[in-house]
Amino acid sequence: MNDDWDQPPVAQGPQWAPAAAPDDDEYVAVGGEGRWLKRVTVVLVLVLLLGIASVGGALLWVRRQIDPPGEPGANTALSVPDGATSSEIGDMLELEGVITDARLWRYWVSWQDRGPFQAGDYVLQENLSFGEAADVLDAGPAQPESERFTVPEGLWLPEIIDQVMIELPRLDRRKLELALDDPSLRWSQMPAEATTLEGLLFPETFEIFEEADELAVLQRMAEEFAAVAVAADLEGAAVELGRTPYELVIIASLIELEAKVPEDQAKISRVIHNRLAVGQPIGIDATYLYHFQERGRVLTESDLAVDSPFNSRDRLGLPPTPIGAPGRGALEAAAHPVEGPWLYYVLADAEGHHFFTESYDEFLEQKAKSQAEGLF
């Protein structure tokens, strides 16, 4: 018998024994590093979200400055002085409530490559976007309200004043008459002894600013006359014709009063030039009407014998001044008469055409015929 059966049986398999407890200074807290990293991550995410929110808020603020909410407000006038920079204009826009932030405007106009803007008067609205304000400025200054007036051809100077007052009743007649003496109205080719603007205020339809005063109205007419005189080459034609430019204006005024249809103007011009060339009185009745300042006057024998420089039957040469305001066609005709031998003309039909001849007998024959037909 084996003595080993007297011993407790020995357990088979792995043997387990309690581990010895570590010393206190060797203790490590399991999972502490993970919790710290988590806290840092949360903080970074919060900072990032706050940064994004701040940037988003700033962008929203910038956007609201550039394009504010709400509709445009009331109109506001803005006067941009000469030399004003885009930044200075921005200050004015902010002051008038057109835009919200002038500092941001400075960067915006540079970024968008807008400007420079013209000096002048503008009408904008309050609460505009930068783009809307820049569009108004890009369009240029607002033009003042304008008004039109018309002066017909052939009027005498007092009649021109009457017509201007009818067309522009806001003007002061006395100021208008006094303005006629202003040196700025004198044509450069006026002789020194000429004292009247007769024939030198161009008859035309004009458009002027509503605030134009009496002198400005007359200056507009005088400037137009000077421009038309250049276009007609009065100075060059005067040299060729042996006349002064002022004499051509006198001839043009005669043509304006005599011609009834445009196609007769250059022919009447030739008759006048021919008569002057041969030393024959021009014999135009319109000069007498100008002397008496009476339209439609039936001239008597005593009228025709009046002692006046405007007596064109007894005196040789031209009258001393124009006898009305010639239009463009008459000025062209005076400077550029057609070629022809004519010395006489007389009304030939109801449409206003004249009969032209170099024969005095033919003239008398046509005159009798025209009278018989009741043309005059």
Q: Give pLDDT tens digits for 265-276.
A: 999 999 999 999
- Quote the tokens at residue 81: 């002085």
- Name the amino acid, one letter, at 17: A
Residue 216 CA to residue 222 CA, distance in Å, equals: 10
Is it the case that residue 69 has pLDDT exceeding 90?
A: no
The predicted structure's pLDDT at residue 19: 46
Closest listed residue to residue 234, CA positions, set 216, 249, 218, 250: 249
Burial level of 313, CB count in 10 A (0-12/13-18/19+)? middle
- The yes-or-no verdict on residue 6 having pLDDT over 80 is no
Could you report the per-residue pLDDT of 114-147, keeping only the tens digit for each?
A: 889 999 999 999 999 999 999 999 999 877 788 9
Residue 272: Cβ within 10 Å count: 24
Residues of the chain above pLDDT 70, percent: 84
Contact criterion met (CB below 8 Å) for 78 and 122: yes
Residues forming a β-bridge with 149? 206
Domains recognised in the chain with CATH numbers: 75-138 (3.30.1490.480), 146-340 (no CATH)
Model confidence over 153-210: pLDDT tens digits?
Answer: 999 999 999 999 999 999 999 999 999 999 999 999 999 999 999 999 999 999 998 8
Q: Measure Cα distances from 346 to 20, 264, 271, 357 in Å.
A: 150, 11, 11, 9
pLDDT for 63: 81
CA distances from 252 to 151, 153, 223, 229, 357 (A): 17, 11, 18, 11, 21
Please state, rounded to an integer, the average pLDDT across all residues of the chain. 87
pLDDT beyond 90 at 222: yes
Nearest alpha-carbon partner for 246 in 183, 158, 322, 156: 322
pLDDT digits (tens, 9 = 90+) for 15-60: 444 444 445 444 444 455 556 565 555 455 555 555 555 556 667 7
Distance, first Cα to last Cα, the chain:
183
Query: Residue 333 carries which side chain, given as an amino acid letter?
Result: A
For residues 302, 303, 305, 308, the Cα torsion angle rounded to the nearest 10 degrees is 140
